[in-house]
Structure 1
Amino acid sequence: MSASSGIVAALRTSVGSTGRGLVRLAALVAVVGGLAACAGDKDVMIPDDPADQLYNEGLYLMQRKSDYTAAAKKFEEVDRQHPYSDWARKALLMQAYSYYEAKEYDDSITAAKRYVSLHPGSPDAAYAQFLIGSSYYENIPDVTRDQQRTEKAMQELEQVIRRYPTSEYAVSAKKKLDVARDQLAGKEMGIGRFYLNRKDFTGAINRFKMVVTQYQTTRHVEEALMRLTEAYMALGIVQEAQTAAAVLGHNFPDSRWYQDAYKLVQSGGVEPSENKASWISKLFQGRKTG
């Protein structure tokens, strides 16, 4: 599901009657006239724009001109000038959405977090939470860089699933969460390979162990099992190497990584063989990842 689909409901109810705004504007003009008469011409107060007018100007900029940043500014004005109105509640969500579409993700996060804080019981709170997670998700860095944003994306997307499990956004959040997990697994694999190349086999095993324990459903688990085979063979811990290769074969029989692991243990004069007492075997017992 795209982020824009979640905003349809808000758009459908966006264009309301301008009656209240015009009445308020007229009242403000009357007040300003009185103040101006008292204060003279040098300090003329300008009335606020009607909330519905600002809101619909934002919609126009968003829908007709695709100027999402300018639209967000209009929605901000609704919130600033009419902070306790129903229009302000709607505008705050639209502000978060507009910033998301403008790829100004930090601003989207700020607005969406404020919405969830102010309106936790709103039917649109699930969408606001989804925008927070999605904004972090869109900023996931390259796998070689620090993954703090990835971890934040996972935390916020998990909030969508946990707090709004029946919402339409939970499904999309799960898909994004899978990609984020894959990213973190890839980061661990990269570090593990680095240790392996330096012949720091214990350090490498710890990284590959993290992949198979914490990210077992990702695409990296096959290579992680093969690398465990490689590291254990290098350390002379042959039985664990045999188990890693056997578990890899049982769960991913068609994997190219299994072919590599099989050849590796054979080169040591043994065959893949699962030791049921091994942590690797226990981890995968009752599971089928392939």
Structure 2
Amino acid sequence: MAAVLAVSLPLGACANAPSFGNLFGGNVDSASLPDEPAEKLYNEGIALQNRRDWRRAALKFMEIDRTHPYTEWAKRALVMAAYSYYEAQDYEETINQARRYLQLHPGSNDAAYAQYLMGAAQYDQIPDVQRDQTRTERALVVLEEVTRKWPQSEYAIAARRKVEVARDQLAGREMTVAKYYLDRRQFAGAINRYRTVISQFQTTRHVEEALARLVECYMALGIVNEAQTAAAVLGHNFPDSQWYKDSYALIQGQGLSPREDTGSWISRAFRRITG
């Protein structure tokens, strides 16, 4: 959680104290009453957080932002509101308040935390691979910004873990669509999707299967050179993989052997990673 501290102040008021209306013989519009001190509101927000009453805590912090704008208390309260909304699983408000904090205080100590909260809110909404992955793409962009701008921060480690999962999710989506094309023998469409996995998501767990499926697609199309290259790259990087054993058997069944063409896009893609 953001490194902000509650200020211990006496919060209780006498329960039997007369109201302003009683003092002056009538009702007083609450809008005319003076604002509560920011410190008091902040501590009330912390107390609500401690009771896990996240939504009311968020509203309490937002009250500080409304009644005491441009103060240090409002600055602290805004990131605490974003955190409270996140715990309440109100992800849209988390994103809104975290983004607003970054717009107002881009160089503050809590900027990395606000950026991480924004990414985590997107990340927690990542859908199944069968569905549109716009949320995943947004989460990846925001979380990668944490690792790029604040690489030494405590949030960068958590962001990197989420980045890995998000990238694996996007690769999984490409694999799902590729399999759809492959099952219908639409090899060109399948190759394009497997190419995306190999070119953009080489570090994910899907790359072995993507290379093996390329062998299958290229062999079906009679593009032997690329099939041999895919098998050779697969064998070089994953020699113990079952996918390589299957690909080797497929190539050998046609009287061929894995052979890398260093001019192939497959070979160039892997040289970018290992070179």
Indicate whether the TM-score tops 0.5: yes
Q: 8 Å contact 1:18–1:52 — kept in the other structure?
A: no
In the alignment, the residues of structure 2 paired with residue 255 and residue 68 of structure 1 have an alpha-carbon distance, to the nearest angstrom, of 48
Which residue of structure 2 aligns with residue 147 of structure 1? 133
Shift of 1:43: 5.0
Give yes or no for the alignment of 1:48 onto 2:9.
Answer: no
| Residues 75, 200 of structure 1: alpha-carbon distance in 2 compared, 3 angstrom cutoff | same
**Superposed counterparts of 1:101-140, under 5 Å:** 101-140=87-126
The aligned residue for residue 178 of structure 1 is 164
Q: Which secondary structure does the structure 2 equivalent of 1:263 belong to?
A: helix
* Between 43-52 and 118-127, the greater mean CA deviation after superposition: 43-52
Is residue 97 of structure 1 aligned with residue 89 of structure 2?
Answer: no
- State yes or no: 1:157 paired with 2:149: no
Report the RMSD for the aligned CA atoms in angstroms. Answer: 2.3
What is the rounded CA distance, in whole Å, between the counterparts of 1:160 and 1:273 in structure 2?
41
Write the mapping of 1:1-290 to structure 2, written as runs, cut at 5 A. 6-7=1-2, 9-10=3-4, 13-16=5-8, 41=26, 44=29, 45-63=32-50, 65-285=51-271, 287-288=273-274
Query: 2: CA distance between counterparts of 1:263 and 1:71?
Result: 62
Alpha-carbon displacement from aligned partner over 1:69-97 (angstroms, at most 9, x marks no partner): 11111111111111122111111110001
CA distance in 1, matches of 2:255, 2:126: 44
Aligned counterparts of 1:84 and 1:287: Cα–Cα separation in 2: 47
For the 8 Å contact 1:251–1:288, the answer to whether it is kept is no
Does the residue aligned with 1:83 lie in a helix, a strand or coil? coil
More helix per residue? 1
Task: Write the letter of the residue equivalent to 1:156.
Answer: V
The superposition leaves residues 250-285 of structure 1 with CA deviations (integer Å, 9 ceiling, x where unpaired) of: 001111111111111122221112122211122223
Confirm or deny: 8 A CA contact 2:215 2:230 kept in the other structure. yes
The count of corresponding residues between Structure 1 and Structure 2 is: 266
Higher mean alpha-carbon deviation, 221-230 vs 52-61, is at: 52-61
Match of 1:149, as an amino acid? R
CA contact (8 A) 1:79 1:91 kept: yes
Aligned to 2:16: none
State whether residues 245 and 273 of structure 1, in contact with CA within 8 Å, keep that contact through their aligned partners in structure 2. Answer: yes
> SS at 1:205's partner residue?
helix
TM-score norm. by structure 1 comes to 0.86
SS, match of residue 270 in structure 1: coil
Q: Which residue of 2 aligns with 1:26?
A: none
Q: Is the 8 A contact 1:96 1:107 kept in 2?
A: yes
Residue identity opposite 2:104 in structure 1: L
Cα deviation code 1:213-245 (max 9, x no counterpart) = 011111110000000000000001111111101
1:99–1:108 CA contact under 8 A, matched in 2: yes
Percent of residue pairs bearing the same amino acid type: 56
Q: Is the 8 A contact 2:9 2:40 kept in 1?
A: no
